[in-house]
Structures are given as structure tokens and as C-alpha cells.
Amino acid sequence: MVDVQKDFTRGGSLEVPDADAVVPLINLLARRFVNVVITQDWHTPGHSSFASSHAGRKPFDTIELSYGTQVLWPDHCVQDTPGAALHERLDVPHAQLTLRKGFHPQIDSYSVFLEADRRTYTGLSGYLALRGIDRVFLAGLTTDFCVAWSALDARRFGFAAVVLEDACRAIDTNGSLASAWAAMKAAGVERARTFQVQAEP
């Protein structure tokens, strides 16, 4: 369950269209899984992915950082602020791990596995592998950034990956949604809908 946080939902600083609609679906879906991981975007104040940290830049501009091209965002999901909290209607009491990412001031992390420098691990690949988990189902926010990058990295680390598209919502800036789906398809990420998921025995 990727980044279902207040700043990405209605009234949030990086509001994603119709994002609140994923919450009831995720509540239903989560009950079908024994192993649930919750992730949170968890930025420092003044994080390098914020437009406000770069003079003369505005949200949705792109800049070159040491590790490559970075989209600049409105300030969002700052550590321990109300906007970084999980959506208030999430109901996933049995989740076993809450994983935070994006907390290095100079490195963004869309992926829940590997930060944007492509060298710094979050540890999730080790956690899943050590627990004998070989397939991940992804839902949450946003389809074209954190869900897509996470699904692609899941494949990179040898996991099967299924994106539950009706339980995700996208930002879609500069064609990002179409390119995310194309990259996921090429990487062997499966695309499914909530009703297709059977409960784990």
C-alpha cells in the first residue's frame, strides 16, 4: 500500500485527482492478504524534491540533480506533519511493516525499494526476500510515480509484481502516466483489478 497520505488526497498540498477513492478499495483488498506493507513518503523540511528549495523554480518544473532529472513538487509529506499522516479512513490494522522513504534531504525516493540515486536501499527487498515473499501486489498513490517506480524495482529485484489499477490514482504530468504503463508493461509488471484478487489461504 503505497503512500496513501493526506497530502496526496483531497485538500492536500499535492492533491491527486480522485485519490480518496482508493481508500475503500484498499481497505477491502488488504483483508485478502496476510502480509501487508504500508509505505509513507517522508521528506525532510526543505527536501531537494520541493520546488521551494530551488530559487526561481515552480512545482512540476524539472531540474538536474546529481543523480539525474528530478520533477519538482509542492512541499508535501514533511516528516511528522499532518499532511504526511496516512489517510484517516484507512483501516488496515494487520499491516506488519510501515516503511518510510524519501528522508534523505538530497535524494528523492519514488521507489519503495531503491532511492532515486539508484544506490541507496530502503531495505524492503531484503525484508520481503527474508520472509519468503516472491510476489507483490501494489495499490495506492501515485500510479505514475511511486507505484510505477516500485513495481519496476520489484521486477528488478526478482519479484513478480501486480499493479491493481483501480486501487491507484495518477498525477499525470507531462505524459508520465502513459510512459509509466509502457515501462511497467516492458518490465513484465502485471495489471489487474481489485475484484480479481483472491484471498490468501
146 Cβ contact list (under 8 Å, min separation 6)? 2, 3, 39, 41, 110, 111, 112, 140
CB of 132 to Zn ion, least distance (A): 30
**Residues pairing with 68 in the sheet:** 65
Q: Which of 48, 125, 142, 150 binds ligand VGL (CB under 6 A)?
A: 142
Does residue 101 have an active-site annotation? Answer: yes
153 belongs to the binding site for ligand VGL (CB under 6 A): no
Which listed residue (23, 26, 50, 73) binds ligand VGL by CB under 6 A? Answer: 73
Q: How far is the CB of 131 from ligand VGL (least distance, A)?
A: 24
For residues 85 and 6, what is the distance between their CA atoms, to the nearest angstrom? 6
Residue type, position 103, single letter: F
**How many C-beta atoms surround the C-beta of residue 26 within 10 A?**
26
β-pair partners for 57 = none
Question: What letter would DSSP give residue 19?
Answer: G
Q: Applying CB under 6 A, what is the total number of residues that bind ligand VGL?
A: 8
**The pairing of beta strand 68-71 with beta strand 62-65:** antiparallel
152 binds ligand VGL (CB under 6 A): no
Of 23-42, binders to Zn ion (CB under 5 A) are 41
Comparing CB distances to ligand VGL, the nearer of 146 and 167 is 146
Query: Which of 6, 23, 29, 41 is in the footprint of ligand VGL by CB under 6 A?
Result: 41
Concerning whether 6 is annotated as a catalytic residue, the answer is no
Q: Which residues bind ligand VGL (CB under 6 A)?
A: 3, 41, 73, 110, 141-142, 145-146
